[in-house]
Structure 1
Amino acid sequence: MKDFSNSIFTQLAMAMMLLVYLILPPALTTYYFLQLNLNPFAIIKFWHYNPFSAARGIPAYQPFLYLLALWLALNVVIFGCMLLISRLISFFNPR
């Protein structure tokens, strides 16, 4: 089997796709919530966190950062669950 090495273009493309994967869902959700004038902070209520103290509405970066934090936390939880499942499978099925 031939050993392939990644070119710099492949590594750059992989890094760009990782950024798109991490940033695009919160950005699109923020845009959707702001266009329809919805409250993205009603998804999960945090203690003592009230971004609606501004009289002229919410700046776009606040829902984006909030949704980005939720998206990253969800990805960490999914990664942890998949890692735990793979470790349990490898523990109970030794080669």
Structure 2
Amino acid sequence: MKDYKNHSITKLLMVTTLVFYFFLPPILTTYFFEYFNLNPFSIIKFFKFNPFSADLGIPSYQTFLYLLMLWCGLNGALWLILWGASLLYTYWAVWRR
């Protein structure tokens, strides 16, 4: 097996991948909403948070920030579920020995 050397280009690729993972889905969804002139606040009701009370004509950056908030919240919830499952598995594995 080859020895792996941690080069700076590898770190750059990892950070770039992380940036693409967090920002690309909200950017593409914002572009979709802007292209079809839709309101994302009426699709996903988030604590009745609709600051515009309009169905059309919302600025792109506000749509992007709202979708980014939802995307990060979804990722945070998924992380918490996986972290809790790993803790339960660890306790179960120790108890089983």
Give the TM-score normalised by structure 2: 0.84
The one-letter amino acid paired with 1:21 is: Y
**For residues 93 and 67 of structure 1, do their structure 2 counterparts lie closer, same or farther at Cα, with a shift above 3 Å needed?**
same
Aligned equivalent of 1:5 = 5
| Displaced runs of 4 or more, over 4 A | none
Point out where structure 1 has 5 or more consecutive residues left out of the alignment.
none
Say whether the 8 Å CA contact 1:52–1:58 is kept in structure 2: no
**Residue matched to 1:89:** 89
Counterpart in the other structure of 1:77: 77
**Separation of aligned partners in 1, 2:69 and 2:52:** 15
Deviations 1:27-59 (A, max 9, x none): 000110111111111212334541357xx9211
Structure 2 gaps of 5+ residues are none
The size of the alignment, in residue pairs, is 93
Comparing 71-80 and 31-40, the one that deviates more: 31-40
Moved more, 2-11 or 22-31: 2-11
Which amino acid is the alignment partner of residue 51 of structure 1? F
State the secondary structure of the residue aligned to 1:37: coil
Paired amino acid for 1:27: I
Partner of 1:50: 51
CA RMSD of aligned residues (A): 2.1
In structure 2, the partner of 1:14 is 14
- The sequence identity of aligned pairs, in percent, is 44
Residues 33 and 39 in structure 1, CA contact (< 8 A), matched pair in contact too: yes
User: TM-score scaled by structure 1?
Assistant: 0.85
